[in-house]
């Protein structure tokens, strides 16, 4: 079920014990609802909350961040900071401009 989300990794060598942060980030960003449900059952919401505090929601869209703010009871001020930081990122600006500005 989860292997498809780790197409670029040696899935058989991964473990929740040693690769938890990577697995959490990937499944929150790319996972289906079933994958996220699996993650929450295995890791628990507190471990996921701690991931947010360590990484500031890195790799997640503002929409995903707002969703997890509500589900996990994350501090809205922190989530606002993470979203603002994303908007300052040059890569975010590049991808936004590419989608919002007509090419012709």
Print the domain residue range for 54.
16-100
pLDDT of residue 101: 43
Average pLDDT score, the chain = 86
How many structural domains is the chain composed of?
1
- Residue 55 tokens read as 């990484």
CB 63 within 8 A of CB 71: no
| 51, part of any domain | yes
In a domain, 31, yes or no: yes
pTM: 0.78
Span 31-70, pLDDT tens digits: 999 999 999 999 999 999 999 999 999 989 999 999 999 9
User: Does the residue 2 lie in any domain?
Assistant: no
8 A C-beta contact, residue 83 and residue 67: no
Residue 1 counted as domain residue: no
Q: Considering the domain boundaries, does residue 92 fall inside one?
A: yes
């Amino acid at each position: 079920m989860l292997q498809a989300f780790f197409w670029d990794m040696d899935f058989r060598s991964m473990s929740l014990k040693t690769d938890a942060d990577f697995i959490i980030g990937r499944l929150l960003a790319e996972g289906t609802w079933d994958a996220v449900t699996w993650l929450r059952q295995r890791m628990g919401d507190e471990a996921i909350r701690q991931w947010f505090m360590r990484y500031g929601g890195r790799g997640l869209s503002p929409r995903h961040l707002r969703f997890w703010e509500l589900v996990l009871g994350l501090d809205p001020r922190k989530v606002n900071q993470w979203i603002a930081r994303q908007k300052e990122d040059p890569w975010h600006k590049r991808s936004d401009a590419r989608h919002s500005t007509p090419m012709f």
